[in-house]
Amino acid sequence: VTVTSGPVIFVNTSTENNFEVPFSVVGTYVLDVKAESPLFSTNIVKTIEIEKRLKGLEVSIRNEILIPGEPNLLQVTLIDFTADTCLYIDWDYFGEQVVYSEPGAACNDPSFTGATYAGTVADITSSRLMYNYRIPGEYTMRVVAVNSNGDTESVSKLISISYEECSGPKVSIQDSRSFFYLSSRHMKSRYIRLRGFASINCPSNLANVKKWTVQVVDELTGQDGANVDISSLTTNKAELYIPSRFLPLGTYKATYEMTMVAGDAVTFSGSAMTYFTVVLSDLIGIIVENGMTFITVGTAQSYLLEPLRYSLDPDIDETEPQGISVISWNCDTLDGSTPDAACIGFRSATSSTLNIQGSALTEGQTYIITVILQKGTRTTRAELRVMID
């Protein structure tokens, strides 16, 4: 890979189909891929444009308590942006809108036709922003950053202005995960318990309303999908209890919201979210009834081992076909001595059952019999100790 008018920045000499190139600098790159054999060779040349993209738009409110007529301090952060970025702000206050852009940027978003120019993107991201709401109420401030490549970042903030001198509740979720690819993992066969917390700064004792919502999340992109119907669950408490097997496999986003209403009818609210993933449960391997791990077989007795009769997939009901199969059996002696021929013979068995003949084994010896079970991508191992008496 060479950069235009520059030296070679990367050379790949491996025979693998896939490789990674660290494009750390904006620019135009030329990728030359060559395949060769002793008889023939060919190459493909591709041009790659590496540009900055919009990334990391955040808006933080600096004031704890927002009163009508007093300045509201905010901080807008944009980690990375291109020269043609337009950053719009809709204050949700009598149609007031502003736009920040670099010189020459074409800022013509139809949703912000009334926006007035307020400075460059660098100006707003390097200093605090001030705005004055003069009338009590709830306002949804919206910040949108776009560029000519179609990159878009947006953040909305609910701002409550009231004479109650209250701040919105600071809401959090215990052990929350902020990124979908780092979500907490929960087996489908186990319940999920999410706990919400709130810190309230208000001189008045305001009633509050709690609400939980759950959305499906695309596991590849992290995009929010459809809401999950959790109307059968208790969603108006600080704790959300999700029963086992309630949710299909997949990644989800849970949101906890608390809302308070002040005397002047102004609403104060706060919310928090967390990602979690429902995964397949471990198979439960059981060789004999009731899950016993030690049995005694007389020399004149036989005992049939039936792991498929007792083993379970905890993700489905016990009354349903479990869909588990036997992969292999194994047999060893507990004391480590050389197994007899019958024990060694068990090692080649692949049937779903195994018949233990006491007369074919050594009296007084204890054997360790194991079976490997499989369902789809899951496997488990079950063990039984058998003493011949």
CA proximity to 216, closest of 275, 266, 273, 262:
275
Tell me: the pLDDT tens digits for 123-144? 888 888 889 999 998 899 999 9
Rounded Cα–Cα distance for residues 82 and 119 (Å): 15
CA–CA distance, 145 with 86 (Å, rounded to integer) = 6
Q: Which of 39-43, 69-73, 364-368 bottoms out in mean pLDDT, i.e. has the lowest?
A: 39-43
Asked if 31 and 49 touch (Cβ cutoff 8 Å), the reply is: no
Residues near 303 by Cβ (< 8 Å), separated by ≥ 6?
A: 295, 297, 355, 356, 358, 386
Question: What CA–CA distance (Å, rounded) separates 157 from 201?
Answer: 18
pLDDT at residue 21, rounded to an integer: 74
> Nearest-CA neighbor of 287 among 269, 310, 270, 264?
310
pLDDT at residue 8, as a whole number: 67
The per-residue pLDDT for range 207-262, each reduced to its tens digit, is 889 999 999 999 988 889 999 999 999 999 999 999 999 999 999 999 999 998 88
Residue 301 has pLDDT above 70, yes or no: yes
Q: What percent of the chain has pLDDT over 90?
A: 56
Structural domains in the chain, CATH included, are 2-50 (no CATH), 55-161 (2.60.40.10), 170-279 (2.60.40.10), 289-388 (2.60.40)
Strands (E), 294-365: 294-297, 302-305, 325-333, 354-357
Q: What is the Cα–Cα distance from 262 to 267, expressed in whole angstroms? A: 6
Q: Is the pTM of this model over 0.95?
A: no
- Those residues whose C-beta lies under 8 Å from the C-beta of residue 185, and which sit 6 or more positions away, are 276, 277, 279
Average pLDDT over residues 324-347: 92
Q: What percent of the chain has pLDDT over 70?
A: 95
Dist CA 93 CA 91 (whole Å) = 5
What pLDDT is stored for residue 359 in this prediction? 92
